[in-house]
Amino acid sequence: MKLVLFDLDNTLLSGDSDFEWAQFLIERGVLDREVYEARNQAFYDQYKAGTLDIHEFLDFQLKPLSRHPRAQLDTWHAQFMQEKILPIINRKARELVDRQLREADLLAIITATNSFVTTPIAREFRVEHLIATEPEQNGGEFSGKVAGIPCFREGKITRLDAWLKQRGASWAGVKESWFYSDSLNDLPLLERVSNPVAVDPDPTLQAHAEKRGWPIISLR
C-alpha cells in the first residue's frame, strides 16, 4: 500500500489556518483585539520555534468555539474560507495533491489544527481523509475542550496509528509512505515514513533535510 500524508499549514497552504482563523474573528470583533491579537502572535511564534505548549494553545483556540452556536460558527467559516483560505491555496499545491490522489492507495491530510477549521479546507482539496485535533462536542455544540490526543508532534503518529487501525490496516502493511511538511514539529512523523519531503521548510527542518538528504520542494 502506498500511503501519502500532507501537513496543511504552511505546506499545502501558504499560511497558517489556525492563526488566520483567530485573526478573522478579531477583525470581526468576535474576539477582543487587545486581548487576543498579541497572544495569537505569541502562540504562532512558539509553534515556529518548536516550543509550543499544545494544551495551552488549544485552550486559547477552542474556547471561542464554545461561546457561539454552531450555525453561527459555520456561517463565519464560510466567509473565512473565501477571505482567508482560498487566497493562500496556490496552483502548485492543488496539482501535487491531485497527482497523489491518482497515484496513492490512501491519502490523508494530517494536521494539528482542529477539525472544525480544517474539514472544509480538506474538502476544497478534494481530500476525503482528515486526521486533525478534535474539539469536544456536546449535542453538536463545542465545549471548548479537546477530545482525545492532540494531533501534534508525536501525537500525529499516535493518531495516525489509530486511524489506520480503524480502517483495518496497520503500519506493517504500508510498503511505501510519503509525508510532506514544512515544520520542525513534524520531525517525529517525517522520521517514520519511507519518503519524507520538506516543503518550504523552516530553518530547522531545512538543515535537517539537507543533512539527511531528504527532498526539499517549494509550492509557493
Q: Please check whether residue 141 lies inside any domain of the structure.
A: yes
Which residue from 183, 191, 206 is spatially nearest to 49, judged by alpha carbons?
Answer: 183
* Structural domain range at position 40: 2-211
**pTM for this prediction:** 0.95
CATH of the domain at 141: 3.40.50.1000
Question: Does residue 220 form part of some domain?
Answer: no
- Write out the H or E segment, with its range, that includes residue 180: strand 176-181
Question: Is residue 105 annotated as a catalytic residue, yes or no?
Answer: no
Residue 144, in any domain of the structure: yes
Pairwise CA distance, residues 212 & 78, whole Å: 41
What pLDDT digit, counting tens, does each position of 16-70 carry? 999 999 999 999 999 889 888 888 889 989 988 989 898 898 888 899 899 999 9
Choice among 9, 182, 186, 202 that is catalytic: 9
Predicted confidence at residue 173, as pLDDT, reads 87
> Which parts of the chain register pLDDT below 50?
none
**Number of domains making up the chain:** 1
Contact present, 57 and 36 (Cβ < 8 Å)? no
Does residue 80 lie within any of the structural domains? yes
Catalytic residue among 7, 16, 18, 182: 7
Q: Answer whether residue 218 is part of any domain.
A: no
Which residues face 114 on adjacent strands?
133
Q: Are the beta carbons of 23 and 126 closer than 8 angstroms?
A: no
Closest Cα to residue 17, out of 106, 105, 80? 80
Residues 219 and 199: beta-carbon distance below 8 Å: yes
Active site residue 9: yes
Sheet holding 2-6, edge to edge: 141-147, 129-138, 106-114, 2-6, 176-181, 195-199, 216-217
Is residue 185 one of the residues assigned to a domain? yes
Which tens digit of pLDDT belongs to each residue from 56-74? 988 888 998 999 999 999 9
Residue 135 maps to a domain: yes
